[in-house]
Amino acid sequence: MNTQLLPALPAGSRDRKGPGSFRARHRRRLFRTDLLTTAAWASIAAAVALWLADGGTSEFSTLAGAVTALGIVTGLAGMDLVLLMLLLAARIPLIDQTVGHDRALEFHRKLGKPSLYLLLAHGLLIAIGYGMAEGLDPVSEAVSLWVLVPDMWLAFISMALFIAVVVTSLVAVRRRFPYEFWYAVHLLTYAAVATSLPHQFSVGGLFAEGTWQRWYWLAVCIATGAALLHYRVLEPVIATFRHQLTVSRVVQVAPGVVSIEMHGLRLNELAGAGGRFFIWRFLAPGLWWHPHPFSLSAEPLQFDASGRGLLRITVRNLGRGSAQLAGVKPGTKVAVEGPYGIFSTAARSRDRVVMIGAGIGITPLRALLESTPFAPGQATVILRGRSEQELYLGDEILELARNRGATVFHLTGPRSARHTGSWLPDSATDAGHRLADYAPGIADADVYVCGPGAWARNVLEDARAAGVREDQLHYERFDW
């Protein structure tokens, strides 16, 4: 077994049901996915239906009315998308356990532009439609709306904030600014939503007092706010106080890579998280406000039945924030939230499993290999790094694989300069090797991929070429 830490048995035996039940579980997860997809679309339809139920179609009898009506519909749909985005980012367990944190955020990002366009169209169409009805040009109409109608100035500010949030969130911009700046701008989303609310209820006749539409919209907005407050604020605070994590030591694993060990309480509740990640905040000056998403690099070690014990994360010096982590002093308190994501047994749909990791992305695989059920011979682990030193925790994985009957490949060497689409070292590519050569049964296996974005894309491409279906692919980005 492991040489450094003794693994604890996961709290629940749910994840130890063993091979065979994966397909049923997978079907249930797909059902939940479809249910959530349906609910999301239905919510947009419901937003439009609110307007239809108010006899909205009668407004199409005049051009000005039609433009205004379109403006109202785009506003309703846009706001609904914004609420969906907030829900997707709220880390609600149902969503997290169904589509996973990464895919939820992917949808969240995908909705960014459409919702902005809808809200922009809302503003423009309303200004044009109202203007036409009054014989004013849209600019004068916008000015008179700003000046004369209560709460409308807030709506203008909200619009500006939404534009700022989406523009800064676009990947290109995000690359140019540090993560912290992007994160701070993202907090403006809440200001944008908050400033947009008053005019929806005071100016829009649809949500006038005494209408059932007003109650529905209020309920939806309050439910979204409550979900955010509960899952993004309350739960983390509760978890932090519950587990009382304190850094006990920081060990250099390789150049630029450290393992941080923490001791705390009730760690049995955190066991079995496999490759799922937690968000850590080290409560030290200059560090406390920066959230770090890392997986456990080993199952928590428990000293006694009460769950007192140790847990460990392994961190590589990637950004300025991560670099500071190497200097964390023992005794530092740690705030924790999670676990999040379905880079775990929850995503399993087959009996066979293939895990492919690169660099620091290997560490979540180690925890996954430790906890996910498989019969001897049904698991393959492929580790990729420039050198043996970069195969972090490679020894531990080898030890685990030996004990559980998994096959391990170490693929080392610089990234191929000649074959840009390859995830393998030059030597392997030259020899004509592909993913299927390392894992022959891959077409009927769950494939877990964890590593840098560009590399992971190449792996996924290779896996699809080997006949792996989309719902068998589980990957976690490790850009930051």
Partner 1 sequence: MRIRAAVSAALASAGILLAGWQSGIHLEDTRSAAASTSAGTNGATGTTGATGTTGATGSTGATGSSSSGSGSTDTGASDKGSSAAAGTDSGAAAEPTTGAAAKAGGTYAGSVVQTRFGAVQVQITVKAGAITDVEALQLTDDDRKSIQISNRAAPLLRSEVLAAQSADVQTIGGATVTSVAYLNSLQAALDAANL
Residues of this chain that bind partner 1 (CB under 8 A): 30, 33-34, 37-38, 40-42, 44-46, 48-59, 61-62, 64-65, 130, 132-136, 141, 144-145, 147-150, 202-205, 208, 471
CB of 201 to partner 1, least distance (A): 10
CB-count exposure of residue 73 (10 Å: 0-12, 13-18, 19+): buried
Distance, CA of 126 to CA of 142 (rounded, Å): 9
CB of 68 to partner 1, least distance (A): 9
Contact residues for 234 (Cβ-Cβ < 8 A; gap 6+): none
Angle between helices 152-169 and 101-134 (to 10 degrees): 140
| Two structure tokens written together for 301 | 């070690």
Residue owning tokens 């500071």:
324
Identity at 438, one-letter amino acid code: Y
Distance, CA of 158 to CA of 153 (rounded, Å): 9
Identity at 418, one-letter amino acid code: R
Distance, CA of 157 to CA of 223 (rounded, Å): 24
* Residue burial 202-230, b: 16+ Cβ < 10 Å; e: rest: bbbebbeeeeebbebbeebbeebbebbee
CB of 213 to partner 1, least distance (A): 10
In this complex, which beta carbon is closest to partner 1, that of residue 13 or of residue 57? 57
In this complex, which beta carbon is closest to partner 1, that of residue 33 or of residue 429? 33
| Two structure tokens written together for 356 | 């492919």
| Two structure tokens written together for 415 | 């990234």
In this complex, which beta carbon is closest to partner 1, that of residue 444 or of residue 471? 471
In this complex, which beta carbon is closest to partner 1, that of residue 61 or of residue 420? 61
CB of 450 to partner 1, least distance (A): 25
Is 91 within 8 Å of 227 (Cβ atoms)? no
In this complex, which beta carbon is closest to partner 1, that of residue 206 or of residue 328? 206
CB of 410 to partner 1, least distance (A): 36
CA-nearest of 391, 256, 243 to 327 is 256
CB of 143 to partner 1, least distance (A): 9
CA-nearest of 180, 441, 385 to 290 is 180
In this complex, which beta carbon is closest to partner 1, that of residue 15 or of residue 59? 59
In this complex, which beta carbon is closest to partner 1, that of residue 93 or of residue 150? 150
DSSP secondary-structure letter at 258?
Answer: E
In this complex, which beta carbon is closest to partner 1, that of residue 31 or of residue 177? 31
In this complex, which beta carbon is closest to partner 1, that of residue 34 or of residue 437? 34
Give backbone dihedrals phi and psi of 144, rounded to 5 degrees, phi first: -70, -35
CB of 347 to partner 1, least distance (A): 15
CB of 74 to partner 1, least distance (A): 15
DSSP three-state, residue 295: strand
Angle between helices 22-53 and 63-88 (to 10 degrees): 150
DSSP secondary-structure letter at 50?
Answer: H
CB of 42 to partner 1, least distance (A): 4
CB of 27 to partner 1, least distance (A): 9
Is 390 within 8 Å of 422 (Cβ atoms)? no
